[in-house]
Amino acid sequence: MIEARQLTKRYGDKTVVDHLSFTVKPGEVTGFLGPNGAGKSTTMRMVVGLDAADEGSVTVNGRPYARHEAPLHEIGSLLEAKSVHPGRTAFNHLMALAYTHGIARSRVDEVIELAGLASVAGQRVGAFSLGMGQRLGIAAALLGDPAIVMLDEPVNGLDPEGVLWVRNLLRQLADEGRAVMLSSHLMSETAQIADHLVIIGRGRLLADTTVDDFISDAGSGAVKVATADAAGLRPLLVGPDVTITSSSADELMVRGRDAREIGAIAARHGVALYELTPQAVSLEEAFMDLTRDAVEYHSAQAGTTRKAA
Protein backbone atom coordinates (compact mmCIF):
# COMPACT_ATOMS: atom_id res chain seq x y z
CA MET A 1 0.00 0.00 0.00
CA ILE A 2 1.14 3.55 -0.77
CA GLU A 3 -0.34 6.28 1.43
CA ALA A 4 0.28 9.93 0.63
CA ARG A 5 -0.99 12.51 3.11
CA GLN A 6 -0.89 16.22 2.36
CA LEU A 7 2.20 15.58 0.28
CA THR A 8 3.73 18.84 -0.91
CA LYS A 9 6.79 19.77 -3.01
CA ARG A 10 7.98 23.23 -3.95
CA TYR A 11 10.61 24.28 -6.44
CA GLY A 12 11.46 27.91 -5.66
CA ASP A 13 8.16 29.72 -5.29
CA LYS A 14 6.29 27.14 -7.42
CA THR A 15 4.28 24.45 -5.61
CA VAL A 16 4.42 21.47 -7.98
CA VAL A 17 2.75 18.96 -5.62
CA ASP A 18 0.15 20.64 -3.45
CA HIS A 19 -1.18 18.90 -0.30
CA LEU A 20 -1.89 15.71 -2.22
CA SER A 21 -3.53 12.78 -0.41
CA PHE A 22 -4.30 9.42 -1.99
CA THR A 23 -3.99 5.68 -1.33
CA VAL A 24 -2.84 2.94 -3.69
CA LYS A 25 -4.47 -0.25 -2.42
CA PRO A 26 -3.44 -3.89 -2.77
CA GLY A 27 -5.32 -5.91 -5.40
CA GLU A 28 -6.01 -2.84 -7.54
CA VAL A 29 -4.44 -1.02 -10.45
CA THR A 30 -4.48 2.70 -9.66
CA GLY A 31 -4.08 5.02 -12.64
CA PHE A 32 -2.31 8.26 -11.73
CA LEU A 33 -3.38 10.78 -14.33
CA GLY A 34 -2.69 14.39 -15.11
CA PRO A 35 -1.67 16.66 -17.96
CA ASN A 36 2.00 17.37 -18.70
CA GLY A 37 3.69 19.02 -15.76
CA ALA A 38 0.90 18.12 -13.31
CA GLY A 39 3.39 16.69 -10.81
CA LYS A 40 3.05 12.94 -11.43
CA SER A 41 6.76 12.14 -11.73
CA THR A 42 7.63 14.40 -8.80
CA THR A 43 5.05 12.58 -6.65
CA MET A 44 6.43 9.18 -7.67
CA ARG A 45 9.97 10.32 -6.96
CA MET A 46 8.88 11.31 -3.44
CA VAL A 47 7.30 7.85 -2.95
CA VAL A 48 10.72 6.23 -3.39
CA GLY A 49 12.68 8.95 -1.60
CA LEU A 50 14.39 10.43 -4.68
CA ASP A 51 12.87 13.81 -3.85
CA ALA A 52 12.17 15.01 -0.31
CA ALA A 53 8.72 16.34 0.56
CA ASP A 54 8.51 19.90 1.86
CA GLU A 55 5.32 19.08 3.77
CA GLY A 56 3.21 16.01 4.41
CA SER A 57 4.29 12.41 4.11
CA VAL A 58 4.20 9.32 1.95
CA THR A 59 4.62 5.76 3.18
CA VAL A 60 5.30 2.48 1.44
CA ASN A 61 3.75 -0.47 3.28
CA GLY A 62 3.43 1.69 6.39
CA ARG A 63 6.92 3.26 6.47
CA PRO A 64 8.84 5.92 4.58
CA TYR A 65 10.81 4.26 1.74
CA ALA A 66 14.18 5.07 3.34
CA ARG A 67 13.25 3.13 6.49
CA HIS A 68 13.00 -0.16 4.61
CA GLU A 69 16.11 -2.33 4.80
CA ALA A 70 15.38 -4.16 1.54
CA PRO A 71 13.19 -1.74 -0.42
CA LEU A 72 13.23 -3.74 -3.70
CA HIS A 73 11.10 -6.35 -1.94
CA GLU A 74 8.58 -3.68 -0.87
CA ILE A 75 8.19 -1.61 -4.02
CA GLY A 76 9.48 -2.03 -7.56
CA SER A 77 9.49 1.13 -9.62
CA LEU A 78 10.11 2.26 -13.15
CA LEU A 79 10.76 5.99 -13.20
CA GLU A 80 13.25 6.88 -15.94
CA ALA A 81 13.53 3.99 -18.39
CA LYS A 82 16.85 5.34 -19.68
CA SER A 83 18.53 5.78 -16.29
CA VAL A 84 20.65 2.70 -16.84
CA HIS A 85 24.41 2.43 -17.46
CA PRO A 86 24.54 2.28 -21.29
CA GLY A 87 27.67 0.12 -21.37
CA ARG A 88 26.14 -2.70 -19.33
CA THR A 89 24.22 -5.59 -20.80
CA ALA A 90 20.62 -6.02 -19.71
CA PHE A 91 21.61 -9.16 -17.81
CA ASN A 92 24.46 -7.40 -15.98
CA HIS A 93 22.25 -4.44 -15.14
CA LEU A 94 19.73 -6.75 -13.49
CA MET A 95 22.49 -8.80 -11.81
CA ALA A 96 23.98 -5.60 -10.33
CA LEU A 97 20.58 -4.75 -8.83
CA ALA A 98 20.13 -8.34 -7.65
CA TYR A 99 23.48 -8.28 -5.77
CA THR A 100 22.30 -5.32 -3.66
CA HIS A 101 19.51 -7.48 -2.23
CA GLY A 102 21.02 -10.95 -2.37
CA ILE A 103 18.55 -11.92 -5.09
CA ALA A 104 19.39 -15.19 -6.87
CA ARG A 105 20.52 -15.37 -10.50
CA SER A 106 17.53 -17.60 -11.24
CA ARG A 107 15.21 -14.68 -10.44
CA VAL A 108 17.15 -12.48 -12.88
CA ASP A 109 16.61 -15.14 -15.58
CA GLU A 110 12.94 -15.29 -14.63
CA VAL A 111 12.28 -11.54 -15.04
CA ILE A 112 14.28 -11.47 -18.30
CA GLU A 113 11.98 -14.20 -19.61
CA LEU A 114 8.88 -12.48 -18.23
CA ALA A 115 9.77 -9.19 -19.91
CA GLY A 116 10.45 -10.86 -23.27
CA LEU A 117 14.12 -9.85 -23.22
CA ALA A 118 15.72 -13.32 -23.47
CA SER A 119 17.06 -12.77 -26.99
CA VAL A 120 18.68 -9.40 -26.13
CA ALA A 121 19.80 -9.99 -22.53
CA GLY A 122 23.45 -10.06 -23.63
CA GLN A 123 23.25 -6.79 -25.53
CA ARG A 124 24.44 -3.44 -24.23
CA VAL A 125 21.60 -1.34 -22.88
CA GLY A 126 22.90 1.76 -24.69
CA ALA A 127 21.73 0.22 -27.98
CA PHE A 128 18.22 -0.53 -26.70
CA SER A 129 15.14 1.10 -28.25
CA LEU A 130 12.78 3.02 -25.97
CA GLY A 131 10.42 0.02 -25.89
CA MET A 132 13.21 -2.41 -24.95
CA GLY A 133 14.32 0.05 -22.25
CA GLN A 134 10.77 0.08 -20.88
CA ARG A 135 10.74 -3.72 -20.77
CA LEU A 136 14.08 -3.73 -18.96
CA GLY A 137 12.76 -1.16 -16.47
CA ILE A 138 9.70 -3.30 -15.81
CA ALA A 139 11.93 -6.39 -15.38
CA ALA A 140 13.97 -4.43 -12.81
CA ALA A 141 10.80 -3.32 -11.01
CA LEU A 142 9.67 -6.94 -10.64
CA LEU A 143 13.07 -8.30 -9.60
CA GLY A 144 12.42 -8.22 -5.84
CA ASP A 145 8.94 -9.77 -6.18
CA PRO A 146 7.56 -6.63 -4.50
CA ALA A 147 4.09 -6.14 -3.00
CA ILE A 148 3.86 -2.76 -4.75
CA VAL A 149 4.71 -1.97 -8.37
CA MET A 150 4.89 1.69 -9.43
CA LEU A 151 5.48 2.55 -13.08
CA ASP A 152 5.81 6.03 -14.64
CA GLU A 153 4.35 5.99 -18.17
CA PRO A 154 5.05 2.27 -18.69
CA VAL A 155 3.54 2.00 -22.19
CA ASN A 156 5.50 4.97 -23.52
CA GLY A 157 7.42 3.76 -26.58
CA LEU A 158 5.87 0.31 -26.66
CA ASP A 159 4.34 -1.19 -29.80
CA PRO A 160 0.74 -2.53 -29.67
CA GLU A 161 1.94 -5.99 -28.64
CA GLY A 162 3.98 -4.38 -25.85
CA VAL A 163 1.02 -2.27 -24.70
CA LEU A 164 -1.11 -5.40 -24.47
CA TRP A 165 1.66 -7.17 -22.59
CA VAL A 166 1.88 -4.37 -20.00
CA ARG A 167 -1.90 -4.29 -19.66
CA ASN A 168 -2.12 -8.04 -19.01
CA LEU A 169 0.92 -8.03 -16.74
CA LEU A 170 -0.43 -5.24 -14.51
CA ARG A 171 -3.83 -6.95 -14.30
CA GLN A 172 -2.11 -10.17 -13.27
CA LEU A 173 0.02 -8.39 -10.65
CA ALA A 174 -3.09 -6.78 -9.14
CA ASP A 175 -4.98 -10.07 -9.21
CA GLU A 176 -2.10 -11.58 -7.24
CA GLY A 177 -2.91 -9.01 -4.55
CA ARG A 178 -0.22 -6.45 -5.32
CA ALA A 179 -0.79 -2.72 -5.25
CA VAL A 180 -0.11 -1.36 -8.74
CA MET A 181 0.28 2.33 -9.58
CA LEU A 182 0.88 3.61 -13.08
CA SER A 183 1.04 7.15 -14.34
CA SER A 184 -0.18 8.34 -17.69
CA HIS A 185 -1.57 11.39 -19.43
CA LEU A 186 -3.84 9.21 -21.58
CA MET A 187 -7.26 8.65 -20.06
CA SER A 188 -8.57 6.06 -22.53
CA GLU A 189 -5.46 3.89 -22.27
CA THR A 190 -5.53 4.07 -18.47
CA ALA A 191 -9.24 3.23 -18.31
CA GLN A 192 -8.46 -0.09 -20.00
CA ILE A 193 -5.89 -1.03 -17.35
CA ALA A 194 -6.93 0.63 -14.10
CA ASP A 195 -9.60 -0.03 -11.46
CA HIS A 196 -9.07 3.22 -9.62
CA LEU A 197 -8.12 6.72 -10.77
CA VAL A 198 -6.25 9.47 -8.99
CA ILE A 199 -6.35 12.54 -11.25
CA ILE A 200 -4.22 15.60 -10.55
CA GLY A 201 -3.67 19.00 -12.12
CA ARG A 202 -1.07 21.58 -11.09
CA GLY A 203 -0.13 19.29 -8.22
CA ARG A 204 -3.63 19.22 -6.73
CA LEU A 205 -6.09 16.35 -6.45
CA LEU A 206 -8.90 16.77 -8.99
CA ALA A 207 -10.59 13.36 -8.67
CA ASP A 208 -10.20 10.17 -6.68
CA THR A 209 -12.67 7.73 -8.16
CA THR A 210 -13.21 4.32 -9.72
CA VAL A 211 -12.91 3.88 -13.47
CA ASP A 212 -16.54 2.66 -13.56
CA ASP A 213 -17.81 5.80 -11.83
CA PHE A 214 -15.69 8.04 -14.04
CA ILE A 215 -17.08 6.36 -17.15
CA SER A 216 -20.71 6.56 -16.03
CA ASP A 217 -20.29 10.20 -14.96
CA ALA A 218 -18.79 10.91 -18.38
CA GLY A 219 -22.07 10.03 -20.10
CA SER A 220 -23.68 13.16 -21.51
CA GLY A 221 -27.14 12.09 -20.31
CA ALA A 222 -28.67 12.64 -23.75
CA VAL A 223 -30.49 9.93 -25.68
CA LYS A 224 -30.78 9.93 -29.45
CA VAL A 225 -34.18 8.71 -30.67
CA ALA A 226 -34.98 7.92 -34.31
CA THR A 227 -38.62 7.34 -35.22
CA ALA A 228 -40.98 7.81 -38.19
CA ASP A 229 -43.27 9.84 -35.93
CA ALA A 230 -41.02 12.39 -34.21
CA ALA A 231 -43.78 14.99 -34.21
CA GLY A 232 -46.16 12.57 -32.45
CA LEU A 233 -43.56 11.28 -29.94
CA ARG A 234 -42.22 14.66 -28.90
CA PRO A 235 -45.21 15.85 -26.80
CA LEU A 236 -45.40 12.42 -25.12
CA LEU A 237 -41.86 12.81 -23.77
CA VAL A 238 -42.30 16.33 -22.36
CA GLY A 239 -41.95 16.64 -18.59
CA PRO A 240 -40.26 18.64 -15.84
CA ASP A 241 -36.49 18.95 -16.50
CA VAL A 242 -36.82 17.28 -19.90
CA THR A 243 -35.34 19.06 -22.90
CA ILE A 244 -35.86 17.85 -26.44
CA THR A 245 -34.06 19.07 -29.51
CA SER A 246 -34.36 17.90 -33.06
CA SER A 247 -31.86 18.01 -35.90
CA SER A 248 -34.03 16.29 -38.52
CA ALA A 249 -37.66 15.28 -39.13
CA ASP A 250 -37.22 11.75 -37.79
CA GLU A 251 -34.71 12.36 -34.98
CA LEU A 252 -34.97 13.69 -31.40
CA MET A 253 -32.23 14.33 -28.84
CA VAL A 254 -33.75 13.90 -25.38
CA ARG A 255 -32.23 15.01 -22.07
CA GLY A 256 -33.89 14.31 -18.75
CA ARG A 257 -35.27 10.83 -19.59
CA ASP A 258 -33.22 7.67 -19.95
CA ALA A 259 -33.48 5.20 -22.87
CA ARG A 260 -35.63 2.74 -20.90
CA GLU A 261 -38.24 5.40 -20.05
CA ILE A 262 -38.35 6.68 -23.62
CA GLY A 263 -38.76 3.13 -24.99
CA ALA A 264 -41.59 2.40 -22.54
CA ILE A 265 -43.45 5.64 -23.38
CA ALA A 266 -43.11 4.97 -27.11
CA ALA A 267 -44.36 1.38 -26.69
CA ARG A 268 -47.37 2.52 -24.61
CA HIS A 269 -48.41 4.84 -27.43
CA GLY A 270 -47.62 2.46 -30.28
CA VAL A 271 -44.81 4.61 -31.72
CA ALA A 272 -42.19 2.55 -33.60
CA LEU A 273 -38.55 3.43 -32.81
CA TYR A 274 -35.67 2.83 -35.21
CA GLU A 275 -32.94 3.86 -32.82
CA LEU A 276 -32.56 4.57 -29.08
CA THR A 277 -28.96 5.43 -28.25
CA PRO A 278 -27.58 6.91 -25.00
CA GLN A 279 -24.90 9.42 -26.02
CA ALA A 280 -21.49 8.99 -24.43
CA VAL A 281 -18.87 11.67 -24.01
CA SER A 282 -15.46 10.20 -24.82
CA LEU A 283 -13.28 9.54 -21.80
CA GLU A 284 -10.57 11.77 -23.24
CA GLU A 285 -13.11 14.64 -23.46
CA ALA A 286 -14.28 14.07 -19.88
CA PHE A 287 -10.65 14.07 -18.75
CA MET A 288 -9.95 17.28 -20.68
CA ASP A 289 -13.03 18.89 -19.12
CA LEU A 290 -11.83 17.96 -15.66
CA THR A 291 -8.26 19.11 -16.16
CA ARG A 292 -8.87 22.08 -18.50
CA ASP A 293 -8.20 24.74 -15.86
CA ALA A 294 -5.16 22.85 -14.63
CA VAL A 295 -3.39 22.42 -17.95
CA GLU A 296 -0.09 24.22 -17.86
CA TYR A 297 1.05 23.76 -21.44
CA HIS A 298 -1.87 24.48 -23.80
CA SER A 299 -1.49 23.59 -27.45
CA ALA A 300 -2.75 26.10 -30.01
CA GLN A 301 -5.93 24.06 -30.53
CA ALA A 302 -6.62 23.33 -26.86
CA GLY A 303 -10.25 23.83 -26.02
CA THR A 304 -11.44 23.74 -29.64
CA THR A 305 -11.66 19.97 -30.07
CA ARG A 306 -14.54 19.47 -27.67
CA LYS A 307 -17.73 18.36 -29.34
CA ALA A 308 -21.00 19.88 -28.18
CA ALA A 309 -22.50 17.48 -25.66
Minimum Å gap between C-beta 38 and ligand ATP is: 4
Per DSSP, helices labelled H in 88-201 are 90-100, 105-114, 130-142, 160-175, 187-193
Residue 41 in contact with ligand ATP, rule: CB under 6 A: yes
Residue 68 in contact with ligand ATP, rule: CB under 6 A: no
Strand 29-33, strand 196-201: pairing: parallel
Looking at residues 168 to 187 of the shown chain, list those that interact with ligand ATP (rule: CB under 6 A): 185
Minimum Å gap between C-beta 254 and ligand ATP is: 39
- Distance of alpha carbon 125 from alpha carbon 136, whole angstroms: 9
- 235: which residues sit within 8 A by CB, 6+ positions away? none
Minimum Å gap between C-beta 30 and ligand ATP is: 15
Minimum Å gap between C-beta 243 and ligand ATP is: 38
What letter would DSSP give residue 118? G
Residue 47 in contact with ligand ATP, rule: CB under 6 A: no
Q: How many CB atoms lie within 10 A of CB 70?
A: 12
Looking at residues 249 to 308 of the shown chain, list those that interact with ligand ATP (rule: CB under 6 A): none
Minimum Å gap between C-beta 227 and ligand ATP is: 46
Residue 37 in contact with ligand ATP, rule: CB under 6 A: yes
Q: Virtual CA dihedral for 147, 192, 118, 41, nearest 10 degrees?
A: -60
Minimum Å gap between C-beta 69 and ligand ATP is: 28
Q: Which amino acid is at 79?
A: L
Given 2, 4, 7, 16, the residue binding ligand ATP (CB under 6 A): 16
Residue 34 in contact with ligand ATP, rule: CB under 6 A: yes
Residue whose C-alpha is closest to residue 99's, from 139, 63, 72? 72
Choose the stretch contacting ligand ATP; rule: CB under 6 A; options: 37-45, 110-118, 123-131, 272-280: 37-45
SS3 199: strand
| Footprint on this chain of ligand ATP (rule: CB under 6 A) | 11, 16, 34, 36-42, 185
